[in-house]
A and B are shown apart, each in its own frame.
Chain A
Amino acid sequence: MTKKEYQTYVNEKAPKSPKLINGIKAFVVGGLICIIGQLIYNFFISLGLLEEEVLSITTIIMIFLGAILTGMNIYDEIGKFAGAGSAVPITGFANSIVSPAMEFKSEGQIMGVGAKMFVIAGPVLVYGTITSVIIGIIYYFIRM
Chain B
Amino acid sequence: MAVKRVGNQTVILQKPPIILESASIAGKKEGEGPLADYFDMILEDDLFGEKTWEKAESRLIREVLLKVIDKACLSYSDINYVISGDLLNQCIAASFGVRESQIPFFGVYGACSTMAESISLGSMIIDGGFADHIVCMTSSHFCSAEKQFRFPLEMGSQRPPTAQWTVTGAGAVLLSSDISGIGITKITTGYIADKGIKDANNMGAAMAPATAATIVAHFKDTGLQPDYYDMIITGDLGKFGGELCCSMVENEGYKIKDRYKDCGVLIYDLEKQDVACGGSGCGCSAVVLTSYLYQLLKEGFIKRILFVATGALLSTTSSQQGESILGIAHAVSVERIGI
The residues of B that contact A58 with a CB separation of less than 8 Å are none
State whether the Cβ of B158 lies closer than 8 Å to any Cβ in chain A: yes
Q: Which residue of B lies closest to A106 (CB)?
A: B52
Given known contacts A10-B202, A10-B205, A79 and B156 CB-to-CB distance under 8 angstroms: yes
The reply to whether A79 and B155 form a contact with Cβ atoms under 8 Å apart is yes
The reply to whether A7 and B197 form a contact with Cβ atoms under 8 Å apart is yes
Given known contacts A7-B195, A10-B202, A76 and B162 CB-to-CB distance under 8 angstroms: no
The residues of A that contact B317 with a CB separation of less than 8 Å are none
The reply to whether A87 and B52 form a contact with Cβ atoms under 8 Å apart is no
The residues of A that contact B162 with a CB separation of less than 8 Å are 14-15
The reply to whether A3 and B153 form a contact with Cβ atoms under 8 Å apart is no
The reply to whether A15 and B156 form a contact with Cβ atoms under 8 Å apart is no
Given known contacts A7-B197, A106-B52, A76 and B155 CB-to-CB distance under 8 angstroms: yes
Q: Which residue of B lies closest to A119 (CB)?
A: B152
State whether the Cβ of B147 lies closer than 8 Å to any Cβ in chain A: yes
State whether the Cβ of B272 lies closer than 8 Å to any Cβ in chain A: no
Q: Of B52, B156, B205, B244, which contacts A86 at CB under 8 A?
A: B156
> Secondary structure of the A side of the interface?
helix
The reply to whether A95 and B196 form a contact with Cβ atoms under 8 Å apart is no
Q: Which residue of A lies closest to B248 (CB)?
A: A1
State whether the Cβ of A59 lies closer than 8 Å to any Cβ in chain B: no
State whether the Cβ of B151 lies closer than 8 Å to any Cβ in chain A: yes
Q: Of A13, A82, A95, which contacts B154 at CB under 8 A?
A: A95
Could you mark each residue 196-213 of chain B with 1 if its beta carbon is under 8 Å from any beta carbon of chain A, else 0?
110000100100010000
Query: In the assembly, what is the distance between CA of A102 and CA of B156, in Å?
Result: 13
The residues of A that contact B161 with a CB separation of less than 8 Å are 14-17
Chain A proximity of B320: nearest CB distance (Å): 12
Q: Of A14, A73, A86, which contacts B202 at CB under 8 A?
A: A14
Q: Which residue of A lies closest to B277 (CB)?
A: A15
Given known contacts A14-B162, A14-B240, A103-B147, A6 and B155 CB-to-CB distance under 8 angstroms: no
Interface residues of A in 1-24 (CB under 8 A from B): 1, 3-4, 6-7, 10, 13-17, 22
> Secondary structure of the B side of the interface?
loop
The reply to whether B155 and A14 form a contact with Cβ atoms under 8 Å apart is no
The reply to whether A120 and B52 form a contact with Cβ atoms under 8 Å apart is no
Chain A proximity of B279: nearest CB distance (Å): 17
Query: In the assembly, what is the distance between CA of A82 and CA of B51, in Å?
Result: 31
Chain A proximity of B208: nearest CB distance (Å): 8
Q: Which residue of A lies closest to B202 (CB)?
A: A14
Q: Of B152, B194, B195, which contacts A99 at CB under 8 A?
A: B152
The reply to whether A95 and B156 form a contact with Cβ atoms under 8 Å apart is yes
The residues of A that contact B154 with a CB separation of less than 8 Å are 70-71, 73, 75-76, 95, 98-99, 102-103
State whether the Cβ of B157 lies closer than 8 Å to any Cβ in chain A: yes
The residues of A that contact B240 with a CB separation of less than 8 Å are 13-15
The residues of B that contact A76 with a CB separation of less than 8 Å are 153-157
Could you mark each residue 23-64 of chain B with 1 if its beta carbon is under 8 Å from any beta carbon of chain A, else 0?
000000000000000000000000000011110000000000
State whether the Cβ of B160 lies closer than 8 Å to any Cβ in chain A: yes
Query: In the assembly, what is the distance between CA of A71 and CA of B159, in Å?
Result: 21
Chain B proximity of A46: nearest CB distance (Å): 31
Interface residues of B in 247-297 (CB under 8 A from A): 277
Q: Which residue of A lies closest to B243 (CB)?
A: A13
The reply to whether A3 and B155 form a contact with Cβ atoms under 8 Å apart is no
Question: A residues engaging B (CB < 8 A)?
Answer: 1, 3-4, 6-7, 10, 13-17, 22, 70-71, 73, 75-80, 82-83, 86-87, 92, 95-96, 98-100, 102-104, 106, 120
15 contacts across the A-B interface (CB closer than 8 A): A6-B195, A6-B209, A10-B202, A17-B160, A70-B156, A71-B154, A75-B154, A76-B154, A78-B156, A83-B157, A86-B156, A96-B155, A103-B153, A104-B147, A106-B52
Question: Across chains A and B, which 7 residue pairs bring their CB atoms closest together, nearest first?
Answer: A79-B156, A99-B152, A103-B152, A3-B196, A99-B154, A99-B155, A106-B52
